[in-house]
Amino acid sequence: MLEQLKVDVLAANLLLEEYKLITFTWGNVSGIDRESGLMVIKPSGVAYNDLSVDKMVVVDLRGNIVEGSYSPSTDTPTHLYLYNHFPDLGGITHTHSIYATTWAQSGLDIPPLGTTHADTFYGPIPCTKPLNVEQITTNYEHETGVKIVETFNDHQLTLDMMPAILCNNHGPFTFGASPLAAVKNAKILEIVSQMAFQTYLLNQDTNKVAQSLLDKHYYRKHGKDAYYGQK
């Protein structure tokens, strides 16, 4: 069942180690098959060097295990909530990468300071508000997804504009049309997070990127008038 998607999700998860985005088992990648309404995700707590296609877990959009002998990632309810609310979403990555998580633990948005940021993220990368005690103790992972969607709505953002978010006191989630695209955005997020952190170490009065430069770099890669790359 969904053999190609399982191969893709496995490959995406293994890239987290290659890209140095995870420590131990602190991360996961999922992908969805919209036609069947089924999601494939990494099994919970399994070391990356022990992962294989047959260990990927298939669940439906209500969280029922459809195929697999392992328990799915504990973040599965977060992934499912996001897939249910973003119909164009094809892949999700969650990590505890050092620099992005540093910003998340600080409760700060990542400001757009240069063109590297603007190439992928249209404006500040938002950090959610903290979960309250009831949200944490009742249905934590589900409520994490709720908070992510609320933040997108509050900031009037789309996944095309902002394929990343920081969960307050937790870490980053990134998004894409596929599992591999979501991992690519996780790597870009980590680089941008490090650049912003180091920029502020050098200069606390750093200016944010001018709107005109943000627009130029974002829209030359995205939208109907994009001209970056080969036709």
Q: How many domains does the chain have?
A: 1
94-128, pLDDT tens digit by residue?
999 999 999 999 999 999 999 999 999 999 999 99
Stretch 185-200: mean pLDDT: 98
Which CATH number is 97's domain given? 3.40.225.10
66-89, pLDDT tens digit by residue?
999 999 999 999 999 999 999 999
Average pLDDT over the chain, rounded to whole? 97
Q: How many CB atoms lie within 10 A of CB 100?
A: 28
Per-residue CA distances from 5 to 39, 67, 105 (Å): 9, 13, 33
Whether 143 is covered by a domain: the verdict is yes
Three-class DSSP category at 206? coil
Report pTM. 0.96
For the beta sheet containing 91-95, the strands, ordered from the edge strand earlier in sequence to the opposite edge, are 65-67, 57-60, 38-41, 27-33, 91-95, 171-176, 164-167
17-67, pLDDT tens digit by residue?
999 999 999 999 999 999 999 999 999 999 999 999 999 999 999 999 999
Active site residues: 119, 228
Query: Tell me, what DSSP letter sits at residue 178?
Result: S
Has residue 204 got a pLDDT over 90? no
**Domain range for residue 169?**
3-219
Whether 8 is covered by a domain: the verdict is yes
What's the pLDDT band for 173 if we cut at 50, 70, 90?
very high
Whether 194 is covered by a domain: the verdict is yes
Whether 231 is covered by a domain: the verdict is no
> Minimal CA–CA distance to 135: which of 114, 119, 150?
150
**H/E stretch holding 171:** strand 171-176
What does residue 58 show for φ and ψ, rounded to 5 degrees? -105, 125
Instruction: Give the pair of three-digit tokens for residue 82.
Output: 């996001």
Whether 7 is covered by a domain: the verdict is yes
Whether 228 is covered by a domain: the verdict is no
